[in-house]
């Protein structure tokens, strides 16, 4: 088995796009932001931390051969696509769009006045040119029970939306102060602290917006700050890029 490695990426070091209606922080190369040493971690290609002003959003645009998962932290996002799918995405609702042979979609802030805050993540599919697809599942009840919940999976987890990548799972946790979780074993693991602060075994504190890139994850533990208000954490476990 490979030796586990830990690469901590702080929030302040992410690429940053600000264009008036959009404030977006990118964990990997995206758009005009490019670094050949920061294009992916395993099969995870994009993790954008987006804040969108009220009454605005991403106009209709195309995608192809990508599994796109959206996770809302605050507010609501309205999704519309060329396959006739329409959904309102809110905190605790996992949403997936499979671009497949090609799809056009828009993502708009549902509120005319309040900002929406969401994370959008892209994973490469294991099969090209599938039919485009859409799915959303409310997992709030499971998150409220504590622990790590699979919310998007290519491995058939009952609670999760299905993605077309057999090696990838997105796990989420709403951690109470002092709660401890264990990172599932995988070739690649990507931890993103969406809210709050956690202590990571062998690495120290991770604050809001910080990330850790792991190889050979080996069951590493995270503990929410016992003196804080809890934490919300997103963890991808994947295989390597083909």
Alpha-carbon dihedral of residues 170, 64, 86, 150, nearest 10 degrees?
-10
Q: What is the pLDDT of residue 167?
A: 98
DSSP 33: B
Dump pLDDT digits (tens) for 44-53: 999 999 999 9
Average pLDDT, the chain: 97
DSSP 31: T
Other Cβ atoms closer than 10 A to 131: 9
Q: What is the pLDDT of residue 9?
A: 98
In angstroms, the first-to-last Cα distance of the chain is 19
Q: What is the pTM of this model?
A: 0.97
Query: Quick one: which of 176, 213, 165 has its CA closest to 198?
Result: 176
Name the 3-class secondary structure at 55.
Answer: coil
Dump pLDDT digits (tens) for 104-155: 999 999 999 999 999 999 999 999 999 999 999 999 999 999 999 999 999 9
Average pLDDT for residues 22-27, to the nearest whole number? Answer: 98
Domain range for residue 231? 5-238
Q: What is the pLDDT of residue 2?
A: 66
Average pLDDT for residues 64-72, to the nearest whole number? Answer: 98
Q: What is the pLDDT of residue 56?
A: 98
Q: Are 77 and 123 in contact (CB under 8 A)?
A: no
Q: Are 190 and 242 in contact (CB under 8 A)?
A: no
Q: What is the pLDDT of residue 148?
A: 97
Q: Are 190 and 44 in contact (CB under 8 A)?
A: yes
Q: Are 174 and 213 in contact (CB under 8 A)?
A: no
The domain that holds 39 is classified in CATH as: 2.60.120.10
Q: What whole-number distance in Å separates Cα of residue 152 and Cα of residue 159?
A: 8
Which residue has tokens 């799972």?
Answer: 169
Q: Are 105 and 66 in contact (CB under 8 A)?
A: no
Give the total number of structural domains in the chain: 1
Q: Copy the structure tokens of residue 19.
A: 């264009």
Q: Say how many CA atoms lie within 13 Å of 150 toward its Cβ.
A: 17
Q: Between β-strands 161-162 and 149-153, what pairing exists: parallel, antiparallel or unpaired?
A: parallel
Q: What whole-number distance in Å separates Cα of residue 46 and Cα of residue 120?
A: 7
Q: How far is CA 202 from the centre of its chain?
A: 23
């Amino acid at each position: 088995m490979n030796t586990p490695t830990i690469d901590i990426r702080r929030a302040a070091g992410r690429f940053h796009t600000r264009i008036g209606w959009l404030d977006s922080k990118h964990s990997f190369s995206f758009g005009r932001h490019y670094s050949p040493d920061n294009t992916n971690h395993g099969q995870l290609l994009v993790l954008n931390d987006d804040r969108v002003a009220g009454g605005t959003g991403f106009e209709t645009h195309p995608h192809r051969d990508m599994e796109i998962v959206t996770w809302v932290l605050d507010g609501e996002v309205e999704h519309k696509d060329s396959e006739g799918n329409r959904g309102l995405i809110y905190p605790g609702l996992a949403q997936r769009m499979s671009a497949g042979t090609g799809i056009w979609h828009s993502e708009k802030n549902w509120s005319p006045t309040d900002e929406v805050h969401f994370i959008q993540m892209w994973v490469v599919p294991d099969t090209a040119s599938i039919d485009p697809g859409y799915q959303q599942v409310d997992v709030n009840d499971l998150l409220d029970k504590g622990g790590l919940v699979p919310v998007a999976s290519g491995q058939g987890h009952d609670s999760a939306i299905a993605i077309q990548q057999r090696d990838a799972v997105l796990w989420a946790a709403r951690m109470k102060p002092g709660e401890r979780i264990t990172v599932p074993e995988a070739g690649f693991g990507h931890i993103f602290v969406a809210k709050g602060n956690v202590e990571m075994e062998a690495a120290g504190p991770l604050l809001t917006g910080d990330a850790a890139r792991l190889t050979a994850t080996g069951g590493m533990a995270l503990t929410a700050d016992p003196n804080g208000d809890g934490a919300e954490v997103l963890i991808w476990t994947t295989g390597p890029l083909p």
